[in-house]
Structure 1
Amino acid sequence: MVLAQVPVTLFTVVMGLCGFTLALRAGEAAAGLAHLASGAAHVLTLAVFAGVALAYLAKVLRHPQAVAEEWRHPVSLAFFPAISISLVLFSLVMLEVMPGVARGLFMVAVPMQLVLTLAVVSGWIGSRAFEHGHLTPAWFIPAVGNVIVAIAGVPLGFVELGWFFASVGLIFWVVLLALVMNRLIFHDPLPERLQPTLVILVAPPSVGYLAWVALVGDVDAFARVLLNIAYLFVLIVAVQVPRLAALPFSLSHWALSFPLAAVTVASFAHAAALGSAGHAVIGFGLLAVLVAIIAGLIWRTGRALALGHLFAG
């Protein structure tokens, strides 16, 4: 593997596995089971997180020009906050087992998230012009990351910090949702390699629900609106599944994982808060789909890596 070819999009794998671990943990809690499956997923996530972080750090040190080219690319630019988002998500994964480590990861990730958000937004509104074709659902990633800070920050005691990042994330979600829907409806279809990013539409309202409930301490009307918007986007994406399944595999397929994990966790959280058996059923159904998707993604990623195709194109 040539380090210069390691893409920043590889951090979406870490995001997906973190979400998978949290979804399994929520499902085990809802079923009254021991955290065995989520424990195994936790170990896998730790290994992948370490491998991806070391590989990209080596790229930064040995091939800074290749990193600069990624940063200048109008599509890959939006994926850079996936680095800090991965750290925030891993702090959530570690929160129950090693709260001290979780706090340390959070303290590192939050300044990085703020810097990357400001840098990406400054890049969007800077001197260079973007075309409609450059806009994809991946542009939600910086917004989603800010909302996730609140989910981790509240249990760690950073409530006001959580309000700041949630506010930033939600306002950018509203703005970007209008832009992305305009692009999807009125302009050329997404390129094949980016079509799996459609699933990212599910993530902002899902993590928005979790952050809002954590911040206000209750399931209010706005929380219900967010969760049901997430369900609407799940249904919209489900209609596209046959087309997405026929696409050649690429790293962008990992965009399927985190959004589905987020809406799964939100469903279990809603079921627990209200004692809703219906939402628990939805959560278990989504979890079953998520397990199948993660298994398929791991197998296809391993196969592509063995064949030397993972970073091609």
Structure 2
Amino acid sequence: MITGISGGIGHLLLIVTAVVFLLLAGTFVAKLLRHPDAVRAELKHPVKLSFFPAISIGMFLLAIAGQHHEPELAAGLWRLGAVVHFALMLFILNSWVNHPHFKVVHINPAWFIPAVGNVLVPIAGAGLDYHEISWFFFSVGMLFWIVLLTLVFNRVLFHDPLPAKLEPTLFILIAPPAVGFVSWVKLTGGVDEFGRVLYYLALFFSLFLLTQVKRLARLPFFLSWWAYSFPLAAITIASWEMHEQLGGVVYHHLALFFLTLVTLVVGFLVFKTIQAAAAKKICVPE
């Protein structure tokens, strides 16, 4: 009975998520058609550029969530997401390498987004029998995570502080090792030494960033606060995976803690976003 109810709720949330994704995608297409110059400017922007792979990441997340409900649709969405993400990754890498104006102060944790998309691929890809493609994306993602981690810490430690609007993106530090751990389990079939390294790195970053909550809570609300949601969801899923694979009461409690936390955070973010939209404080010129 409970399983049936939770499954029904999950299916409903999947439908709602798909509708929201389609609405956002439609809005972006409309922007592309009506204001192509604005999109081109964003593609040249050192910060906004890294957010474009959120399009393909959304496709991967829908494919992961839908692979047991609509496997054919999920497979098609995964394939489309892989093509889009690969194209965006090449474009972004070319922009980084051939940039005319990027500086160290432009580096921020949002630059991890393309790498996170790569390591996300195997979570659905392995189950859809795309093992070699999944290994390809995973390998590229892990390499760029290590490189970008070094660059981000260099920027944070030795240069000007992040702008207030970008400080919530520090939580993205959690995402690559947490998602990488789940992908590693899907690719290898279990938790080994390297899997443990990934999980405990994600857990360390989570605990470290929780010590920053008091400071971050004093910041005014920006849409960038949504950067809290995905990384917390990632460490929640990683903790459940550790519990499923190894058992143990510690992992179970960690998973419950992070599940409660991410549920409260997402609820709060929805409230703050609606409140800001009603006050016309979002989607305004910078």
**Shorter-chain TM band:** over 0.9
> For 1:155-188, what per-residue CA distance to the aligned partner results, in whole angstroms no more than 9, with x for missing partners?
0010000000000000000000001011111111
CA contact (8 A) 2:112 2:148 kept: yes
* Alignment equivalent of 1:248, drawn from 216, 220, 245: 220
CA RMSD of aligned residues (A): 1.5
Cα distance in 2 for partners of 1:84, 1:162 equals 15
Equivalent of residue 162 in structure 1, options 129, 134, 147: 134
Aligned match of 1:259 in 231, 237, 249? 231
**Which residue is equivalent to 1:150?**
122
Where do residues 82-121 of structure 1 align in structure 2 (5 Å cutoff)?
A: 82-121=54-93
How many residue pairs get matched?
Answer: 284
Aligned to 1:6: none
In 2: Cα distance, 1:251 partner to 1:143 partner: 21
Residue aligned with 1:193, SS: helix
Residue deviations 1:173-211, cap 9 Å, x none? 000000101111111110000000000000000011011
How do residues 25-174 of structure 1 correspond to structure 2 at under 5 angstroms?
A: 34-174=6-146
Deviation string for 1:25-72 (max 9, x for gaps)?
xxx98xx97324433432331222121111111101111111011111
2:115, 2:144 within 8 Å by CA — same for their partners in 1? Answer: yes
Contact 2:14 2:62 in 1 (8 A): no
* Higher RCO, 1 vs 2 (CA within 8 Å, ≥6 residues apart): 1
What residue number does 1:277 align with?
A: 249
3-state secondary structure, aligned to 2:212:
helix
Q: Distance in 1 between matches of 2:211 and 2:96?
A: 31
1:277 CA displacement: 2.3
Tell me, in whole angstroms, the C-alpha distance in 1 between the residues paired with 2:174 and 2:145. Answer: 11
Tell me which of 250, 257, 280 is aligned to 1:308.
Answer: 280
> What's the TM-score once normalised by structure 1's chain length?
0.88
Alignment of 1:186-225 (within 5 A): 186-225=158-197
Q: State how far apart, in whole Å, the 1-side matches of 2:112 and 2:26 are.
A: 25
Structure 2 residue aligned with 1:8: none
**Structure 2 letter corresponding to 1:58:** A
**Separation in 2 of the partners of 1:155 and 1:43?**
21
After superposition, the Cα gap between the structure-2 partners of 1:181 and 1:127, relative to the gap in structure 1 and judged at 3 Å, is: closer
Structure 1: distance between partners of 2:170 and 2:9: 28
Q: Distance in 2 between matches of 1:108 and 1:76?
A: 22
Counterpart Cα distance in 2 of 1:34 and 1:195: 35
**Stretches of structure 2 lacking an aligned partner (at least 5 in a row):** none
Unmatched runs of 5 consecutive residues or more in structure 1: 1-27
Measured after TM superposition, the shift of residue 249 of structure 1 is 1.0
